């Protein structure tokens, strides 16, 4: 997320999805109804329950990388290479973050979303910005809305923080988010080290390059919807980050889908695991060897869902472009050199639209 810039735009009226849900509408408001081509594709027409192939995306056991014997380390690095190259997504187990902390962040996030709307609206996401409570990436009154309420905050570096948007309720929200973010930051640093090794680079390459990495969190709350076949929880997109860490609530239904081989496949949640995905910045740095992958969230007819998503990205000052070791005559340079801050700005000032934002970086 880039530092906020206020853009004078007319986004029209954005319904709060939780409030909308309370009114039990018999028809879904037009602004949430997707064009036929954009609806969740595979549908069990008898039950209006969404069904799509479930795939077990790769699982990485971090403990084998952090303190495994050399054989385990090597085989897990190979798994990581496959996961990043063929999927761009994996679930990490034995990630070292206390389960009690995962539970605490889930609790404060849920408690926040359950507050009265008047309380949540004390922290509004202004049109065209990406921090606070509301709906991000809406830039016009004609744009379709996602079936989702979001609460997003910049964490690091300090200058991206908007302290006025940090809520006073629930009382332990801020403290919990600080502890959680510290742990997730360490996890990202570890993962990037192993991702570097897995692509044949020295382990500190990203750490050294990134400077004070940008970290932001977005909590997505998806209420149920009587017509999940018509709406989208979160529009298809790739993340602008280097990597993203996604925590789903305990007992989450299958809501995250990723585009693999042109098919939307559902990610089956594993209790206490974290979902990791490659963002656009790693795609550029690895010269496309590891690609960011388009993903989206779909909605359930009866159940709600919460995801807590951390984006970890290079500092805005750094110059981006493929790492020279990954460019040769068999792998010609596919991306230009640009300032990462420019890309972040480009990303947050456009609607979510698959991988289109990355055209910015392509030669």
- Residues in contact with Fe ion by CB under 5 A are 239
From candidates 183, 239, 280, 283, binder to ligand AKG by CB under 6 A = 239
Determine if 81 is a binding residue for ligand AKG (CB under 6 A).
no
Nearer to ligand AKG, 95 or 295 (CB): 295
Nearer to Fe ion, 209 or 267 (CB): 267
Determine if 309 is a binding residue for ligand AKG (CB under 6 A).
yes
**Euclidean distance between CA atoms 134 and 8, whole angstroms:** 17
Determine if 307 is a binding residue for ligand AKG (CB under 6 A).
yes
Please report how close the Cβ of residue 122 comes to Fe ion at its closest, in angstroms: 26
Determine if 57 is a binding residue for ligand AKG (CB under 6 A).
no
Buried b (16+ CB within 10 A) or exposed e, 244-283: bbbbbbeebbbbbbbbbeeebbbbebeeebbbbbbbbbbb
Residue 291 contact, options Fe ion, ligand AKG, none, Cβ 5-8 Å cut-off depending on partner type: none
Site residues for ligand AKG, window 204-233 (CB under 6 A)?
218, 220
Length of the chain: 363
Determine if 282 is a binding residue for ligand AKG (CB under 6 A).
no
Buried b (16+ CB within 10 A) or exposed e, 112-139: bbeeeeeebeebebebbbbbbbbbbbbe
Strand order in the sheet with 214-222: 59-61, 89-93, 274-278, 243-248, 305-313, 214-222, 149-156, 132-134
Nearer to ligand AKG, 176 or 257 (CB): 257
Residue 297 contact, options Fe ion, ligand AKG, none, Cβ 5-8 Å cut-off depending on partner type: ligand AKG
Determine if 258 is a binding residue for ligand AKG (CB under 6 A).
no
Nearer to ligand AKG, 65 or 102 (CB): 102
Q: Is the alpha carbon torsion for 33, 37, 41, 44 positive or negative?
A: positive
Residue 256 contact, options ligand AKG, Fe ion, none, Cβ 5-8 Å cut-off depending on partner type: ligand AKG
Residues sharing a CB contact under 8 Å with residue 83, sequence separation 6 or more, in sequence order: 57, 58, 60, 89, 90
Determine if 300 is a binding residue for ligand AKG (CB under 6 A).
no
13, HSE (Cβ side, Cα atoms, 13 Å): 5
Determine if 234 is a binding residue for ligand AKG (CB under 6 A).
yes
Residue 220 contact, options Fe ion, ligand AKG, none, Cβ 5-8 Å cut-off depending on partner type: ligand AKG
Note the helical H segments in the chain: 17-22, 62-67, 70-82, 99-113, 117-120, 173-198, 205-210, 280-285, 340-348
**Euclidean distance between CA atoms 80 and 276, whole angstroms:** 11
From candidates 62, 285, 297, 320, binder to ligand AKG by CB under 6 A = 297
Nearer to ligand AKG, 192 or 306 (CB): 306
Residue 294 contact, options Fe ion, ligand AKG, none, Cβ 5-8 Å cut-off depending on partner type: none
Nearer to ligand AKG, 4 or 252 (CB): 252
Both tokens assigned to 85: 């190259």
Determine if 357 is a binding residue for ligand AKG (CB under 6 A).
no
Query: What value does the CA radius of gyration of the chain take, rounded to a whole number of Å?
Result: 20
Contacts with ligand AKG, residue ranges (CB under 6 A): 218, 220, 234, 239, 246, 255-256, 295, 297, 307, 309
């Amino acid at each position: 997320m880039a530092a906020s810039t206020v853009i004078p735009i007319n986004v029209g009226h954005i319904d709060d999805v939780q409030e909308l849900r309370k009114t039990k509408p018999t028809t879904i408001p037009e602004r949430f109804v997707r064009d036929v081509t954009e609806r969740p594709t595979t549908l069990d027409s008898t039950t209006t329950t969404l069904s799509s192939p479930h795939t077990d995306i790769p699982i990485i056991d971090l403990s084998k990388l952090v303190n495994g014997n050399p054989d385990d380390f090597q085989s897990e690095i190979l798994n990581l290479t496959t996961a990043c190259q063929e999927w761009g997504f994996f679930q990490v187990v034995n990630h070292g973050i206390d389960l009690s902390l995962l539970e605490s962040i889930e609790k404060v996030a849920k408690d926040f979303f359950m507050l009265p709307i008047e309380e949540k609206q004390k922290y509004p996401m202004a049109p065209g910005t990406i921090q606070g409570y509301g709906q991000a990436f809406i830039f016009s009154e004609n744009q379709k809305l996602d079936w989702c309420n979001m609460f997003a905050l910049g964490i690091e570096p300090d200058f991206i923080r908007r302290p006025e948007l940090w809520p006073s309720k629930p009382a332990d929200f801020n403290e919990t988010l600080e502890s959680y973010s510290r742990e997730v930051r360490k996890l990202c640093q570890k993962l990037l080290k192993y991702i570097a090794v897995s692509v044949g680079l020295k382990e500190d390459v990203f750490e050294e390059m990134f400077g004070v990495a940008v970290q932001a969190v977005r909590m997505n709350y998806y209420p149920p919807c009587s017509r999940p076949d018509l709406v989208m929880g979160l529009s298809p997109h790739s993340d602008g980050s280097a990597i993203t860490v996604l925590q789903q609530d305990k007992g989450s239904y299958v809501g995250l889908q990723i585009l693999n081989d042109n098919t939307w496949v559902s990610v089956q949640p594993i209790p206490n695991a974290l979902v990791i995905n490659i963002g656009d910045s790693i795609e550029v740095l690895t010269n496309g060897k590891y690609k960011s992958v388009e993903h989206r969230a779909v909605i359930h007819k009866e159940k709600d869902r919460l995801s807590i998503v951390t984006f970890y990205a290079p500092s805005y000052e750094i110059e981006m472009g493929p790492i020279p070791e990954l460019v040769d005559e068999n792998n010609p340079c596919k991306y230009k050199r640009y300032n990462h801050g420019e890309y972040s700005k480009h990303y947050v000032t456009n609607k979510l639209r698959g991988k289109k934002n990355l055209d910015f970086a392509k030669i």
